[in-house]
Amino acid sequence: MDNTSKSKFVLLTGGAGYIGSHTIIPLIESGYEVVVIDNLFNACKGEGEKPVSILQVEKLTGKQVTFYAIDLLDYILLSEVFDKHEFCCVIHFAGLKYSNESCNIPLNYYKVNVCGSINLFQVMMEHNVKRLVFSSSSTVYSEPHFLPITELHPVGQSLVNVYDKSKYYIEGIIQDLCNSDKEWFVIILRYFNSVGAHSSGTLGEDPNGTPSNLMPYVAQVAVGKIQSLNVFGKHCSTIDGTGVRDYIHIMDLAEGHVSALEKMQKSNDSGAIAINLSTGNGYSVLQVINMFSQVSKQEIKYEIVDCPNGYCDSSYCDASFAKEYLGWEAKRTLKEMCEDTWRWLSLYPQGFSTTT
């Protein structure tokens, strides 16, 4: 089926969040009409009905974004959104995302992430929208069996928290859905540690919970919200004894979603395809700290402590399939990740709750 003639309306679930809001910008720049649904659980509310992140996107793009404050668990309201718009594709970001929290409230995570996704897929089927980009995670790989991690790496083995399991289960549901109906085409994006902010400094990560990776913690030390960091190290088999992880700039990640969408619009492919999105380069904790200190001109205090049991020394991906299949590759450097994070926090030290 040729999709080039279809509507250019795209639905973003969880589009007011960190990754979703940044993805709106290149979507609009590529000529798409964006519709966002979000339950505002992890977003700062602005004046009127729209969250601050969406208002900031509208300022940056000069375009209005259609927004609905609804939850994926509300089947009726979700279906009404599909009644109002003819979507060419859905980009599915919505879900709870904190690993440690997920183990304390597992039913909440399964209900919101898994049941919410099932609701979405059912409504999509009823409205004959069978193209989906799913926001998955590198955590489905668990501890790496080999490096760099390719898409052929085993998934679902020894997953340690409910968040990771929920992503893995949703991937399985998607595979079953595609096996049952050959009209479905789903690109599953497994990305690593998303960091940074829009280069304007007016849009960045504003979580209401605990930061999900190293960079926000380093930034909070730089602005004085945290006194110092505990750095797992001493005995890791890495360049400096501290853990190595793969980081990707949020705008590279956002552009990766647009590349996936463009592939769907032009391709007759079907089924589910998993793709790694990241730089393919690993940076140690100390390399990140030193770069952020250099960029911010702030001292980042830290203490080296023993690694906990089960701590993974290194995790980074092979991103070559994304370049081959999507024509996409990450372009921004670690320095740019730090610079844009610092610019954002310099303008909004308390996130979107900062008075402007």
Rg (CA), the chain: 20
Which of 147-161, 208-222, 224-238, 338-352 is most confident?
147-161
CA dihedral 81, 84, 89, 95 (to 10 degrees): -10
pLDDT in tens, 292-322: 999 999 999 999 999 888 889 999 999 999 9
- As a 3-state breakdown, the chain gives helix, strand, coil percent values, each rounded to 5, of 40, 20, 40
pLDDT exceeds cutoff 80 at 356: no
- Higher per-residue confidence, 353 vs 179: 179
Whether residue 247 lies in the annotated active site: no
Q: What is the pLDDT of residue 148?
A: 99
Q: What residue ranges do the domains of the chain occupy?
A: 9-353
Put simply, whether the predicted model's pTM sits higher than 0.75 gets the answer yes
Instruction: Output the average pLDDT for the chain.
Output: 94
Catalytic residue among 18, 141, 163, 283: 163
Residue in this structure with the two tokens 């489905």, named with its chain if needed: 140
Residue type, 279: T
pLDDT category, 226, cuts 50, 70, 90? confident
pLDDT in tens, 111-131: 999 999 999 999 999 999 999
Convert 285-294 to b/e letters by CB count within 10 Å (16 or more is b): bbbbbebbbe
Task: Quote the CATH superfamily of domain 9-353.
Answer: NAD(P)-binding Rossmann-like Domain (3.40.50.720)
Please give the Cα distance from 33 to 287 (Å, whole number): 40
pLDDT category, 213, cuts 50, 70, 90? confident
